[in-house]
Amino acid sequence: MIKRIVRMTFQADKTQEFEDLFLATREKIKSTPGCLHLEWWQDLSDSTVYYTYSHWESEAHLADYKNTETFKWVWPKTKAMFAAPPNAWSVIQKEEA
């Protein structure tokens, strides 16, 4: 299993639009084969910064998601609202303390 963290900074006047878009598509993302978990976070000190945190069965499942109609529809809309380039990390959990 891999965990995926994506940090996105939005234009201040686009945060509500992003929230609406995420809420409209989260169930489709969660129902993608291989998606085991999906969370959505907002930064405490900067309300224009959001994170998605997801669990995927494998890197191949994440790659497959990026080829879905859902991703091809939502990602360009999301990118158009950015104030800065996104950052993304794929990690594996080594140990739970």
Virtual torsion, Cα 19, 33, 37, 81, nearest 10 deg: -20
What pLDDT was estimated at residue 66?
96
**Mean pLDDT for all residues in the chain:** 97
Tokens 């990390």 — which residue? 89
Whether 82 maps to a domain, the answer reads yes
- Which residue from 29, 35, 88 is spatially nearest to 57, judged by alpha carbons? 35
How does residue 80 score in pLDDT terms, banded at 50, 70 and 90?
Answer: very high
Indicate which CATH number applies to the domain containing 20: 3.30.70.100
Whether 96 maps to a domain, the answer reads no
Domain range spanning residue 84? 2-91
Tell me the pLDDT tens digit for each residue of 16-63: 999 999 999 999 999 999 999 999 999 999 999 999 999 999 999 999
Query: What is the side-by-side order of every strand in the sheet holding 35-42?
Result: 35-42, 49-56, 2-10, 82-91
How does residue 95 score in pLDDT terms, banded at 50, 70 and 90?
Answer: confident
Q: What percent of the chain has pLDDT over 70?
A: 100
